[in-house]
Structure 1
Amino acid sequence: MERALRLTAVGRRYGVRGPWVLRDVHLDLPPAALTRVEGPNGTGKSTLLRLLARVDAPTEGTVTGRPRTAYVPERFPSALPFTALDYLTHLGTVHGLTRKAARRAAGDRLDRFGAAAHALTPMSSLSKGGSQKVAVAQALLAEPELLILDEAWTGLDTEARAELERAVAERTAAGSAVVFVDHDPRRLAGAADAVHTVRDGTLHRRTGEPAVADGPGADGPRTVVVVRGPAPLPPEALRLATAEETADGAHRLTVRASHSDVVLRALLSAHRPYHVVSVNPLDVNPADPEGRG
């Protein structure tokens, strides 16, 4: 199965003679890449994401590639005849898990997003925030190769928003493509590998974006992780961090603070685990440029 997804000359309109919402759209979503889609309301961003999720079919053009896809729509249908836990358990069995494993995974996802207390609440009785946590949990349950997020942070509390950012970092570190729309320009600022703007019914790539999610040019607070262990470093860590070898043979990794726990998990769960020497905010001690604490 081809993990990369590609749109070639794609157009979409509703009705035989309806106006074109999108036309001549070209877009590649390679593995391990984070893509942001921007544009004013009503320009076709959600239509584009529905095409990527294959919820809608293009009126013209082609969509190629069949990555395992999960989608969080802008409006999640919460009036379903399940409790939150039963709904996620059912989806887990659809993804091939045993019922016992699916129920355990469902409980873990709800706990991760602070919704464990609502596990037995009927979906129709959940608040907007509770429903959104279930929407995010169902998408991550599949461990998708392509994760599509349409305003997925809307309605989440502060802790859940931060947890979703960590989940995005985990998916890209695992080699998944992630594409998202969010009204807050600060959301994952500086982290995207590519930013595209929907304008005049088509897609325009913004130039001058960073090639990687982290590094000296990234926005936001950063963390320096110093470890000792074998080279090369795990690819899951290198996708999210810039690395250099120190004078005494250690590895110094610079990573966005929100992604540091993902990098640490990759290092500590490697076949030959790394010894963590220090974890410090960048420039916390100018007299100690190697980050040795």
Structure 2
Amino acid sequence: MLRIDELRKRYGDKIALDGVTLSVGPGEMFGFVGANGAGKSTTMRIVMGVLDADGGEVRWKDRPLDFETRRRFGYMPEERGLYAKMRVAEQLEYFGRLHGLTQAAAKKASDDLLERLGLTERRDSEVDSLSLGNQQRVQLAVALVHDPEMLILDEPFSGLDPIAVDALAGVLAERRAAGVPVIFSSHQLELVERLCDSVGIIAAGRMVAVGTVAELRGRESHKRLRVVVSGASAGWADELPGTIVAKDGDEVILESADDREVLRIASRAGRLEHFGWVEPRLSEIFREAVA
């Protein structure tokens, strides 16, 4: 539904985006990861029309994005954009009205989100009296109040405790189940790995890896073999083909290994307790991709 093609952006001599390309389909949750300054926020701001690109295109349902289409998106910037002295419920209703909801529809949407995000008891509190985590929940509620067709969230989980993370993840899962595409950036790679269907890794303004979590894990360069042999003589692993990346007692982890040859040697060395491929964590894939 959302297609970003060859986005380019430069600030003076600094290249912020260098041909960024990605797509997010219906009901897909896309995790956008990269170091600070890699280009995540710049990409999102261009999608939302906050910044103009120097080159490339953003399309929605195979049509160029325009103002009316963007109004139907839900956007959560990394910097909070809330009215500090406005009460929480009043603020949600206000943003709902800005998106074209009737007063009754805005109130109902506000009440539903306050309950879903655990903010009902703070509905009459001024925003600047809330904890940073609760302010983050309100910011997310603002992005959701008009039932958007697309969600673009910049660091939505920042500052949230585990309970709030679960509440937010549940809300996003509901939107995804309804067919809403979701793209969010995060430095919490274990969270991206748990929630996302697809991941894009950006470094210095360039996409260095894009695909489903399974595709990224399944790349040949990421394949590692875990072997556990008990009762083997000292130095038995020295005969194994490939590169030993970890060794702890009876356990050996190898990469670039011929699995059949490893199995033959391990079976003769002692009692084979475990033999199988190890799926890398997203954090390992990320470090390799940006190196």
1:31 maps onto 2:22 in alignment: no
**Aligned residue number for residue 143 of structure 2:** 139
Pairwise CA distance, 1:102: 1.1
Aligned equivalents of 1:88, 1:191: Cα separation in 2? 26
Aligned equivalents of 1:201, 1:76: Cα separation in 2? 24
Q: Verify the 8 A CA contact 1:93 1:102 in the aligned structure 2.
A: yes
**Aligned residue number for residue 61 of structure 1:** 56
**Aligned residue number for residue 285 of structure 1:** none
Equivalenced residues, count: 206
Aligned equivalents of 2:149, 2:179: Cα separation in 1? 7
Aligned equivalents of 1:103, 1:209: Cα separation in 2? 39
1:130 maps onto 2:125 in alignment: no
Q: What's the CA shift string for 1:84-127, capped at 9, x where partnerless? A: 11110011122332212212221221121111122112223332
1:178 maps onto 2:182 in alignment: yes
Pairwise CA distance, 1:136: 0.9
Q: Please list every run of 5 or more consecutive structure 2 residues that lacks an aligned counterpart in the other structure.
A: 216-291
Pairwise CA distance, 1:79: 4.1
The structure with the greater share of residues assigned to helix is: 2
Aligned equivalents of 1:127, 1:207: Cα separation in 2? 36
**Aligned residue number for residue 8 of structure 2:** 11
Q: What's the CA shift string for 1:190-234, capped at 9, x where partnerless? A: 4422211111321133456337xxxxxxxxxxxxxxxxxxxxxxx
Q: Give the direction of change, closer, same or farther, for the CA distance of 1:207–1:131 in structure 2 (3 Å limit).
A: closer
Q: What's the CA shift string for 1:16-58, capped at 9, x where partnerless? A: x341111111121222111111111221121122223332221
Normalization by structure 1: what TM-score?
0.65
**Aligned residue number for residue 42 of structure 1:** 37
Higher relative contact order (CA 8 A, sep 6+): 2
Aligned equivalents of 1:104, 1:181: Cα separation in 2? 29
Q: Please list every run of 5 or more consecutive structure 1 residues that lacks an aligned counterpart in the other structure.
A: 212-293
1:91 to 74, 87, 95: 95
Normalization by structure 2: what TM-score?
0.65
Helix, strand or coil at the partner of 2:182 = strand
- The alignment yields a C-alpha RMSD, in angstroms, of 2.0
Q: Which has the larger radius of gyration?
A: 2
Aligned equivalents of 2:58, 2:211: Cα separation in 1? 24
Q: Verify the 8 A CA contact 2:10 2:17 in the aligned structure 1.
A: yes
1:169 maps onto 2:173 in alignment: yes
